[in-house]
Amino acid sequence: MAFNKIESQVLKYLEPIAAEADVEIWDIEFQKEGPNHVLRVYLDKAGGICLDDCETVSRALEAVLDEKDPIPQAYLLEVSSAGLDRAIKYKTHFEKCMGKNVDVKLFAPVDGTKEFTAALNGFDGKTVTFQIDGEAKTLPLDKISSIRLSIEF
């Protein structure tokens, strides 16, 4: 995972909390949104995350962050499930989601489209391969704005 300094520090405090709660850390984001800074923690586990999981992790993390004080400015803490349409950003995400359908958004059109849904077929750290209508299509990672699990009803 590639985190900024604050996210990396939070990860160190969060890892034992997540292990104790038997949940997986899917992602951490620390961003400025309007006048506020927001620390978001996304969790996952087999069978799905429930409200109690989020509450347990949030309370434990809040206590550690209050004690260690790694974030100099005021911020809001949000702990939630990674969601059904979770973002796929890191090598571990690609590995777990291989073969599944994903929604892809591009920075600029390729073959006349900026968005498509396809099966995730490969990832080598620099390129992503998708299966689209029976054909493999490989795109450089830096051309892709976002990849999220596709929600199928």
pLDDT, tens digit, 9 for 90 and up, residues 114-127: 999 999 999 999 99
* pTM for the full predicted model: 0.88
| Separation CA 61–CA 41 (nearest Å) | 10
Task: Give 60-112 pLDDT, tens digit per residue.
Answer: 999 999 999 999 999 999 999 999 999 999 999 999 999 999 999 999 999 89
Domains, the chain: 5-81 (3.30.300.70), 91-149 (2.30.30.180)
pLDDT at residue 1 greater than cutoff 60: no
pLDDT at residue number 2: 60
pLDDT for 152 equals 82
How does pLDDT run across 11-65, given as a tens digit for each residue? 999 999 999 999 999 999 999 999 999 999 999 999 999 999 999 999 999 999 9
Convert the chain into a string of H (helix), E (strand) and C (coil). CCCCHHHHHHHHHHHHHHHHHCCEEEEEEEEEECCEEEEEEEEECCCCCCHHHHHHHHHHHHHHHHHHCCCCCCCEEEEEECCCCCECCCHHHHHHHCCCEEEEEEEEEECCEEEEEEEEEEECCCEEEEEECCEEEEEEHHHEEEEEECCCC
C-alpha distances in Å from residue 132, one per residue of 89, 101, 103, 152: 20, 10, 12, 16
pLDDT at position 45: 96
Longest dimension (CA), the chain: 54
